[in-house]
C-alpha cells in the first residue's frame, strides 16, 4: 500500500492541472466569500433590553431576605422565567435584582438584566429560591428541599434604592419559528406564550399587589407586540401568577435570540458553492486523464490489485484537498467575520463567532471535509465513465444544475434536493438549524459520504471486471 500511495502522490503532483485546480479552489473560495460578506447588510433599531413581566409585589425597605418555594412553572417556552425580584418601583427599565427558575435552562440570577449567573441544577422542577440584599449587593440561593442551600453568587446592583418593591414575578418569551416560504426565502413567525407559576411558603408574608411591567410601544419594523395582561391569585396556601414578556439585556437569558436567526458562520463559507466546481474537475480528471493518456495501463501493470490503486488514489486526492481547503476555509472565516460585523452582524444581537467554539470550528473545518469527500464522489464517477466529458456533465448536473433548478421551483422540491443529494453535505457548515425541514449537519454529511462510498464502490466493481 505504501508503494501505491507513493506512486499516486508522484503522479498527482507531476500534473500541472492539479496545481491549477488547487489554486483555483483557494481563489474561488476567498473571492466569493469576500463578495458575499460585503453584500450582507443588516440593522436593528429597537430596544436592547427587555423588562416585561407580571409582578406581584409589596414595598420593602433596607436589607432583607426573600424566600419562596416555586412549586411549578409551566409554559410553551423553555426560556420562561419565574422567581423572586427586588425592583426600584414598577417602571419598565428601572434597577432590579432577581433569581429565577426556567423550564429548560435551570436556575439563573440577574442584576439590572445586564449581568447573569447560572446554577447547575435540573431544569423544569420545583425549586426553593432565596434572595438576600446587603446594601447595593444581592446574593442568590437555590435549594431542592428548603434546608440545604447552595449559593448562586453575589451581584452588585447599581441604582437600587433603599425602598424597593419586593415580590414574585413570571415572564414567558415569544417562540420564533422559521418557515421556508419559497426556495431560498425564510421568514420567521413569533408566537406569544404565557407562563403560569405556582408559589408557596413566601416569606416575609405580605399582601401583594399585581402590576404588569410593560415596555413602551415602539412603532415601525422593530416594533414590539403588546404582551397579554397577567393575573394574580393569592390564597392562604398558594400564590398563582401568570404573565408574558421577557427579562434581560440582549444576549442574557436568551433575550434577542428571535432576532439573530442568521448563521454568520455559514455565510462566511459561501465561497464553497463556487469552489466545488474546482474539486468537481479535479476529482473527475484525476481518473479520466489516465484513461485518455492510457497511463492507466502502466499503473495497473505495476499494481495488479486495482482496488489498492483506487484506495491509494482516493487517499492522496482527499488528503490533499482537505490539506489545502482547511486553511482556506479558516482564512475565509477570519476575513468575512470582520466585514460582516461592520455591516451590522455584531453584538449584542449577533454574538462574535470564534474558532475556539467547538460548533464554529466544526463548521469551518466541515467545509474542508465537504470538499474532500465531494472530490471522492467525483473520482468515483470519473472511474465509472472513464471519459471526461460525460463524467463532468453528470456531476455538474447533480451538484450545480439540479440545486439551481430546485431553488426556482417549489419548497418541497428544494427541500428534497437539500436533504437527498450530495449537496446535503454543505449542512456540515451550519451552526444553527434555520427551519424545521433543514437537514442536520452530521446527517447531511452522512448523505454525502453515502454517495461517495456508492460511487467508489461501483468504480471498484467496474475496475475489477473490465480491462483498462
Domain residue ranges in the chain: 2-42+262-465, 49-249
What is the per-residue pLDDT for 80? 93
Query: Residue 272 and residue 468: Cα distance in Å, rounded?
Result: 34
Query: Residue 355 and residue 5: Cα distance in Å, rounded?
Result: 33
What is the per-residue pLDDT for 219? 47
Q: What is the pLDDT of residues 292-335, one digit of tens each?
A: 777 666 666 666 666 777 888 889 899 999 999 999 999 999 99
Q: Are 147 and 116 in contact (CB under 8 A)?
A: no
Query: Residue 332 and residue 31: Cα distance in Å, rounded?
Result: 9
My answer on whether omega of the bond before 348 falls inside 30° of 0, hence cis, is yes
Q: What is the pLDDT of residues 72-100, one digit of tens each?
A: 999 999 899 999 999 999 999 999 999 99
Domain 49-249 has CATH 2.60.120: yes
Strand, helix or coil for residue 1: coil
Q: Which three cell numbers stand for residue 112?
A: 439590572
- Count other Cβ atoms within 10 Å, centred on residue 185: 10
Query: Residue 88 and residue 222: Cα distance in Å, rounded?
Result: 27
Query: Residue 160 and residue 134: Cα distance in Å, rounded?
Result: 11
Q: Are 260 and 200 in contact (CB under 8 A)?
A: no
Q: Which three cell numbers stand for residue 82?
A: 419565574
Q: Are 346 and 44 in contact (CB under 8 A)?
A: no
Query: Residue 15 and residue 257: Cα distance in Å, rounded?
Result: 50
Query: Residue 439 and residue 237: Cα distance in Å, rounded?
Result: 49
Residue 396's closest CA among 264, 225, 281, 249? Answer: 281
Residue 208's closest CA among 233, 171, 229, 230? Answer: 233
Q: Are 157 and 138 in contact (CB under 8 A)?
A: yes
Q: Which helix (H) or strand (E) holds 53?
A: strand 49-61
Q: Which helix (H) or strand (E) holds 7?
A: helix 2-14
Query: Residue 154 and residue 151: Cα distance in Å, rounded?
Result: 8
What is the per-residue pLDDT for 325? 94
State CA 367 to chain mean position distance.
15
Residue 142's closest CA among 103, 110, 108, 102? Answer: 108
What is the per-residue pLDDT for 247? 92
- Residue 245 DSSP symbol: -
Residue 387's closest CA among 265, 283, 288, 295? Answer: 288
Residue 367's closest CA among 278, 236, 455, 269? Answer: 269
For the chain, which ranges sit under pLDDT 50? 219-224, 468
- The residues, any chain, with a CB within 8 Å of residue 301's CB and separated by 6 or more, are none
Amino acid at each position: 500500500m505504501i508503494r501505491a500511495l507513493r506512486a499516486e502522490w508522484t503522479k498527482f503532483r507531476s500534473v500541472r492541472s492539479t496545481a491549477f485546480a488547487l489554486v483555483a479552489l483557494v481563489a474561488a473560495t476567498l473571492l466569493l466569500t469576500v463578495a458575499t460578506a460585503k453584500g450582507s447588510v443588516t440593522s436593528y433599531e429597537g430596544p436592547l433590553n427587555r423588562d416585561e413581566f407580571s409582578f406581584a409585589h409589596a414595598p420593602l425597605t433596607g436589607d432583607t431576605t426573600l424566600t419562596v418555594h416555586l412549586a411549578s412553572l409551566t409554559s410553551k417556552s423553555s426560556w420562561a422565567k419565574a422567581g423572586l425580584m427586588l425592583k426600584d418601583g414598577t417602571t419598565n427599565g428601572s434597577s432590579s435584582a432577581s433569581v429565577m427558575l426556567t423550564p429548560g435552562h435551570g436556575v439563573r440570577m440577574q442584576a439590572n438584566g445586564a449581568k447573569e449567573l447560572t446554577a447547575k441544577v435540573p431544569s423544569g422542577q420545583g425549586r426553593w429560591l432565596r434572595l438576600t440584599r446587603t446594601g447595593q449587593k444581592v446574593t442568590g440561593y437555590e435549594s431542592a428541599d428548603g434546608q440545604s442551600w447552595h449559593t448562586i453568587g453575589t451581584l452588585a446592583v447599581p441604582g437600587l434604592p433603599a425602598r424597593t418593591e419586593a415580590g414574585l414575578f413570571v415572564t414567558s418569551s415569544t417562540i420564533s419559528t422559521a418557515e421556508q416560504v419559497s426556495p431560498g426565502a425564510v421568514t420567521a413567525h413569533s408566537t406569544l406564550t404565557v407562563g403560569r407559576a405556582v408559589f408557596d411558603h413566601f416569606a416575609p408574608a405580605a399582601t401583594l399587589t399585581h402590576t404588569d411591567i410593560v415596555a413602551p410601544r415602539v412603532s415601525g419594523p422593530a416594533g414590539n407586540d403588546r404582551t397579554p395582561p397577567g393575573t394574580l391569585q393569592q390564597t392562604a396556601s398558594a400564590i398563582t401568577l401568570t404573565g408574558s414578556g421577557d427579562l434581560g439585556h440582549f444576549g442574557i437569558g436568551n433575550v434577542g435570540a428571535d432576532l439573530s436567526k442568521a448563521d454568520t458562520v455559514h455565510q462566511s463559507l459561501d465561497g464553497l458553492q463556487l469552489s466545488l466546481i474546482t474539486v468537481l474537475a479535479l476529482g473527475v480528471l484525476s481518473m479520466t486523464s489516465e484513461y485518455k493518456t492510457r497511463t492507466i495501463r502502466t499503473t495497473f501493470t505495476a499494481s495488479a490489485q486495482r482496488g489498492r490503486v483506487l484506495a491509494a488514489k482516493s487517499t492522496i486526492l482527499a488528503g490533499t484537498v482537505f490539506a489545502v481547503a482547511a486553511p482556506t476555509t479558516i482564512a475565509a472565516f477570519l476575513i468575512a467575520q470582520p466585514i460582516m460585523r461592520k455591516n451590522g452582524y455584531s453584538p449584542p444581537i449577533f454574538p462574535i463567532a470564534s474558532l475556539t467554539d467547538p460548533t464554529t470550528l466544526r463548521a469551518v473545518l466541515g467545509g474542508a471535509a465537504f470538499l474532500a469527500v465531494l472530490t471522492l464522489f467525483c473520482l468515483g464517477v470519473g472511474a465509472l465513465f472513464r471519459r471526461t466529458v460525460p463524467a463532468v456533465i453528470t456531476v455538474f448536473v447533480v451538484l450545480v444544475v439540479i440545486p439551481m433548478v430546485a431553488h426556482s421551483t417549489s419548497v418541497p422540491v428544494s427541500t428534497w434536493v437539500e436533504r437527498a443529494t450530495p449537496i446535503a453535505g454543505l449542512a456540515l457548515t451550519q451552526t444553527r438549524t434555520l427551519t424545521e425541514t433543514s437537514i442536520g449537519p452530521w446527517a447531511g454529511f452522512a448523505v454525502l459520504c453515502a454517495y461517495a462510498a456508492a460511487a467508489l464502490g461501483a468504480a471498484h466493481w467496474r475496475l475489477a471486471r473490465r480491462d483498462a
